[in-house]
Amino acid sequence: MSHALEQPKVSTPISQVELVTTLRDAHVQRYGFEPSRSRLAMAWAQVALENANGQVMWNHNIGNIGPKKKDAWYRHSSLTVYRSFDSFIDGAKTYWQTVEHCSSTLTMFDNGWATAASENLKRCGYFGADIELYVNGMNRLYVYALTKVLPNEERTRKEKQATKDWEQYQSLLAFTPVCGCSSGELRSSHR
């Protein structure tokens, strides 16, 4: 790795909801469709495990992704370096790409198989932590994501869609302030 590509280590924490949104948006940009609920919850769980629930994150690196030769990087410790990103969305797109390259992991995410996904990521060299601790963390965080993190995000998306639908509906009908009825055909039919 070139020292010219070394970046200063900068703290870039992210909230739970921002992390879900970023992972979802990056998935859409990478694959052209939204991730399944299980895939999104599993990705959130894995990143939360790697980055202390989003609070211990550096240089927008979602998931502690290591650098390749021509990537900007930062020194995390005397023994470890990680890739440096300009934005969370760039970090999340690379996260999806990294997980995808670990054969069958996305299928395991889709099926909610936290144990199998953890074991597969370990075999691929994604992490060096103790497998039993990682499996336990992934399983707990996956359930937490499904029950505590995603419902709020899902409700927010539904509320935004309902507001958008209502605004679109209102634009189709010109309401009069006096009677609240449609000003178009309804009035002409009373003549």
Domains of the chain, CATH where assigned: 3-188 (1.10.530.10)
> For all residues of the chain together, what is the average pLDDT?
87
Among residues 140, 111, 108, the alpha carbon closest in space to that of 124 is found at: 108
CA 33 to mean position of chain CA atoms: 13
- pLDDT bin (cut points 50, 70, 90) of residue 186 is very low
Residue 184 has pLDDT above 60, yes or no: no
In 3D space, the residue among 9, 6, 126 whose CA is nearest the CA of residue 58 turns out to be 9
HSE-CB for 35 with a 13 A CA cutoff: 30
pTM, full prediction = 0.79
In tens, the pLDDT along 120-156 reads 999 999 999 999 999 999 999 999 999 999 876 666 6
Q: Any idea what DSSP says for residue 148?
A: I
* Phi, psi for 74 (deg, rounded to 5): -135, 155
- The amino acid that residue 134 corresponds to is Y
Cα-Cα-Cα-Cα dihedral sign, residues 78, 84, 87, 89: negative
Strand pairing class (73-75; 81-83): antiparallel
The yes-or-no verdict on residue 175 having pLDDT over 80 is no
pLDDT of residue 188: 45
pLDDT in tens, 40-71: 999 999 999 999 989 999 999 999 999 998 99
Q: CB count, 10 Å around CB of 35?
A: 22
Give alpha helix (H) positions in the chain.
Answer: 16-31, 37-50, 88-100, 105-110, 114-123, 131-144, 150-172, 185-188
Which DSSP string do the residues of 46-73 spell out, in sequence order? Answer: HHHHHTTTTTS-BTT-TT-PPP-TTS-E
90 and 72 Cβ atoms separated by less than 8 Å:
no
